[in-house]
Amino acid sequence: MSDDNTTHFGYREVPLEEKAKRVGSVFDSVADRYDFMNDLMSGGLHRIWKRQTIGQTFLRPGHEMLDLASGTGDLASLALPKVGTEGRVVMSDINLSMLARGRDRMIDEGVGEQAACVLADAEELPFPDRSFDRVTIGFGLRNVTRKENALAEMRRVLRPGGRAVILEFSHVYVSALRPLYDLYSFRIMPMMGKLVVNDSESYRYLAESIRMHPEAPALKEMMEDAGFEDCDYTLLTAGVAAIHTGWVY
C-alpha cells in the first residue's frame, strides 16, 4: 500500500519523485520500436481502439484538442482530419524521445504545421484555463505519478462544453481468459521485448502497471471527483482496455 511519500512503479514501491524518472527510462528504451511493438503485442487491436477513442471525442472542424502522453502521435494523427485546417491539435508528452518521434511523424505525413508539440508534465500543464475543446490521453494515465492531479489539470484546461476522453488498459472481466492474459502479459510480452528491443524489464513494468491501474468503476469515480460530469466508460475486448469519457459544463 502506497503512503504519502511513495507510489507504485509496477509492483514496486518507489519514492514519489522517482517514478517519473523511471517511467522516462522505460520509454527512452522502447521509443525506437514503440509502434512496431504495439502492433506486434496487440495484433493491431490498439489501432481499432484508438479509432474508437477518437470517435468518442465528437470532434468538429475548428475544435482545439490537447493530446496528452501523445507519444508517436496515433490519436493526434486521427484527430487532425476532424478538426480541419481551422482547428488545431497540440501533442504533449513528458518524454522527449517519444515526442520527437511524434513530431517527425507529423512532418512525414505533411501535417507538421497543424500539430504543435509541447514537452509537458500532465500534472502541471503549461496552458491557461479553458484552452481546449477536447483533451485525450491514450495509454498514458497509468504512468502518471498522481493521477488525480492529471485529471484535475485536464478538467482545468477544458472549456465549457469540453470533453475528456481517456483510453487506458483495464481489467479482463471474463474469468476464463485471465490465466491466458496473465501468461501473455508476464511471460510472452517480456520475451518479445527481449527479442525485439533487448529489454524485457520495460515490458514487464508495462504489464505490472496495467494490473496496478484502477479498474474502470474506480477511474470513473476519480473523474467525477475531479469535476467531470456525465462520466461513462466502454470496456473493449473483454476488458483489456477501456474508453473513459467525461464532460465539462
Binding positions for S-adenosyl-L-methionine: 72, 93, 121-122
pLDDT of residue 203: 86
Angle value at C-alpha 190, between 243 and 103, nearest 5 degrees: 55
Binding site membership: which residues? 72, 93, 121-122
Instruction: Write the CATH number for 71.
Output: 3.40.50.150
Mean pLDDT across 101-126: 94
Torsion angle (degrees, nearest 10) of CA 236, 237, 239, 244: -10
For the chain, give the percent of residues with pLDDT over 90.
75
Domain count, the chain: 1
Residue 49 domain-assigned (yes or no): yes
Per-residue pLDDT, averaged over 199-213, amounts to: 89
Range of the domain at 170: 19-174+202-247
Q: Which residue has the higher pLDDT, 161 or 111?
A: 161
In a domain, 66, yes or no: yes
C-alpha cell at 101: 518521434
pTM: 0.91
Percent of the chain with pLDDT over 70: 98
The answer as to whether 186 is a domain residue is: no
User: Could you tell me if residue 139 is inside a domain?
Assistant: yes
Q: What is the pLDDT of residue 1?
A: 44
Mean pLDDT across the stretch 215-220?
A: 97
Residue 158: band (very low, low, confident or very high) from pLDDT cuts 50, 70, 90 = very high
Is residue 183 a part of any domain in this protein?
no
Asked if 244 contacts 173 with a C-beta cutoff of 8 angstroms, the reply is no
Q: Report residue 172's pLDDT band, with 50, 70 and 90 as the boundaries.
A: very high
